[in-house]
Amino acid sequence: MGRTTAHRRGRQMAATLLAATAAMTMINGPASAAPDALSATAAKAPTAVSAGQLPGNSERARAASRANRSTSGYQLSLYKGIWYQPKAEPFRRCVMSRESHYNYRAKNRHSSAMGAYQLLDSKWRHSLVAMMRAESRKTKDGLLGDIKALTHKRLQMWGRYWQDRAFWTAYQKGRGWRHWYLPGSFCNSLAG
């Protein structure tokens, strides 16, 4: 697929998302527009339990959930820790669509980029593990051992929860959006 086709597809997806968001805002008001619009336009959304319905509603419960094993399709982020930003879900969704077509097992043929967010395994794995361990120590979420085990797994083999957590950790509440910058991409306009 050529760059022009990819940009056109990104613009079409963005237009659909914006139209759905506007429609939901008119129907339900601004508070419910974003999550409903994302759900309404998620063509590949799996039927797994959503993050908000998980028992225990803690990071530990999310990491151990059945939804964590789902490897394709769009869902709201399983991770809801200190780096999570609900208002940035449209950016996360756009990045996933562009980078991997919502495939958590995606592997780039030309680099070590892997997973739903196409993070470079050779550059990011150890850094992400270190950042997530620092968060785990700070929040006492009980996941230090699980995080340490990620050091020995390629990024594409991390579960949905862990890849979502990696995205938000790298995104850094908007400061890290340029890791996914692509000239001319609609996703750039959703960042920040």
> What's the pLDDT at 12?
54
pTM above 0.85, yes or no: no
DSSP notation for 103-126: BTT-B-SSSSEETTTTEEHHHHHH
Helices 89-100 and 160-171 pack at an angle, to 10 degrees, of 120
C-beta neighbour count of 115 within 10 angstroms: 28
So what's the pLDDT on residue 2? 53
Which of the four pLDDT bands, split at 50, 70 and 90, describes residue 192? confident
Task: Render pLDDT for 112-159 as a digit per residue (tens, 0 to 9).
Answer: 999 999 999 999 999 999 999 999 999 999 999 999 999 999 999 999
Q: Is 113 left (phi over 0), alpha (psi -120 to 50) or beta?
A: beta
Yes or no: say if 94 and 85 are a contact pair by the CB < 8 Å rule. no
Residue 6, pLDDT > 80, answer no
Distance CA 129, CA 166 (A): 8
Instruction: Work out the average pLDDT over 35-48.
Output: 36
Each residue's pLDDT tens digit, 160-182:
999 999 999 999 999 999 999 99
- At residue 95, the 3 state secondary structure works out as helix
Backbone angles phi, psi at 48, to 5 degrees: -60, 160
> Residue 101 CA to chain centroid, in angstroms?
12
Residue 37 identity (one-letter amino acid) = A
pLDDT digits (tens, 9 = 90+) for 72-103: 999 999 999 999 999 999 999 999 999 999 99
3-state secondary structure of 156: helix
